[in-house]
Structure 1
């Protein structure tokens, strides 16, 4: 039996299988006829990053796994936790691991290095910020309210990427050994400032939606006012002060390398998402 046949005939575990990328990966695998197990706290076999006693049952019989750490691989303690998962997965017989990583995050790169140092077959997806942050979380409520205020310079551009592209690459990596030991740096086809991205959404909706850069202190105060947990506040501020400081503006060729096509376009995403009415406003 070939390596690919082993992966395809065994159980594929999707850790973070209810999240933005994970649920899309799981849907694609199911449609392809793969036996899929969802790794989440609410699954039939619960998986909890903070409870290692839940891991072994979930890993039983698994040959390949997609790993998306929640809430972000940059949080304190994440590196030690994902390293422990890699070890436990390999010991249980997992032969392929696909890791979702993040551009510009030192902690994410340390997790990548930990995976690369193992004996397992691996593929790493080092991704930019998602298109879907504007429609499925983070920025949706401010867009609905008509103003997006963030602690980021107006001049800083980010090559946002469609999670559909990430899911396509993940599924390809879980099916074909041509992606073995490949690190794909994944961006969209163009870099946009937040002001430009918000303006494009506003035009598509025919609404007045503004972007306003604010200080980190003001943003922190607003998050606290909204009741956001302190750990989440610190994570968000850390990401804005590091990942969104301009270091990730350059485009990368991960989608082209992995799939042989260009990344999906932000304008297409905006047009398709606007048609659903999700940005209609309050």
Structure 2
């Protein structure tokens, strides 16, 4: 099987590519470095032609109207070229993502949606890690809500299982999470202990966090979208476990503590 992996150099795509190769699949990386651009439909056909399946992850938020349009058009293009097996990464608890999930379901598509909890690797890759590493503090609108942080390696393994298990997961939504609930404060404390540093967590209202984002140069329309997203997504609706990892992989998901030990050992949060 040849699988197109969008975002192949990103947080999820890189791990999906690794897991797919480990499973014996031929990976066709799709990123700007390989000439693929979600915002340029003329780059899609060359990427899709001759492939058997595709993993879809949109570069901004899956709940944006731009994602809905692009995923729908991409799915149509894929099916027209014979690429029927499509797996979309979505967000657990994000109602705004539902139109994008619906857009995937074009006639002829053998689709699966993987809804993931908050990634454990959001603490070790991307903008949050710089706050922790350089400033020793995470300022974030997570309040004291509890979240079952999921390891991206588990997400990738579920995606590959969905791609390779024949009809088993076609037309299904798979929700994945870690094995236990933690607050953002508890997660930062765990990271601090493993890193041997005093790290602090400062919860702020989503609107104030939006002001910080604007100060970092995030465009106003993106700030507004993220503020509304955080106000809804971090309201406690995700304070429950999902059994997707166990049901699909027949094992328990990786614990947040395992992720923290490995990342701290690699010096991720070293000042």
Q: CA RMSD in A?
A: 1.5
Aligned to 2:65: 76
- Name the residue aligned to 2:198: 208
Name the residue aligned to 2:37: 48
Find the aligned partners of 2:31 and 2:59 in 1 and give their Cα distance: 10
* Corresponding residue for residue 78 of structure 2: 89
Aligned partners of 1:59 and 1:92 also within 8 Å: yes
Once the two structures are superposed, residues 243-272 of structure 1 have per-residue CA deviations (whole angstroms, 9 ceiling, x without a partner) of 111111111111111111111100111111
What does residue 127 of structure 2 align with?
Answer: 138
2:239 maps to 1:259: no
How far is the alpha carbon of 1:84 from its aligned partner? 0.9
- Residue 103 of structure 2 is aligned to residue 111 of structure 1: no
Q: What is aligned with 2:267? A: 277
Among 229, 233, 243, which residue is 1:239 paired with?
229
Work out the CA distance in 2 between the residues paired with 1:159 and 1:185: 12
Residue in structure 2 matched with residue 61 of structure 1 by the alignment: 50
Partner residue, 2:112? 123
Residue in structure 2 matching 1:13, options 4, 18, 24: 4
Shift in Å, 1:231 = 4.0
Q: 138, 148, 152: which one pairs with 2:142?
A: 152
Rounded Cα–Cα distance in structure 1 between residues aligned with 2:57 and 2:200 = 32
Q: Residue 197 in 1 paired to residue 187 in 2?
A: yes
| Map of 1:176 onto structure 2 | 165
Report the 3-state secondary structure (helix = DSSP H, G, I; strand = E; otherwise coil) of the residue aligned with 1:12.
strand
Q: How far off is 1:132 after superposition?
A: 0.2
What is the CA–CA distance in structure 1 between the aligned matches of 2:240 and 2:107, rounded to whole Å? 30
Secondary structure in structure 1 of the residue aligned to 2:99? helix
Gaps of 5+ in 1: 1-7
Q: Following TM superposition, by how much is the alpha carbon of 1:33 offset from its aligned partner in structure 2, in angstroms?
A: 3.4
Q: Displacement, 1:234?
A: 3.0
Q: Deviations over 1:142-191 (max 9, x none)?
A: 1111111112322x111110000000011111112133323110111111
Please say which of residues 22-31 and 92-101 is displaced more in the overlay. 22-31
Length, aligned pairs only: 269
Q: CA deviation at 1:21?
A: 1.2
Corresponding residue of 1:39 = 30
Q: 4+ residue runs of structure 1 moved beyond 6 angstroms? A: none
Alpha-carbon offset, residue 117 of structure 1: 5.2
Q: What residue is the counterpart of 1:4 in the other structure?
A: none
Return closer, same or farther for 1:76/1:116 CA change in 2, 3 Å cut-off.
closer
Q: Distance in 2 between matches of 1:224 and 1:59?
A: 37
Secondary structure, in 3 states, of the residue corresponding to 2:127? coil
Contact 1:14 1:66 in 2 (8 A): yes
Q: Could you tell me which of 24, 28, 43 is aligned with 2:19?
A: 28
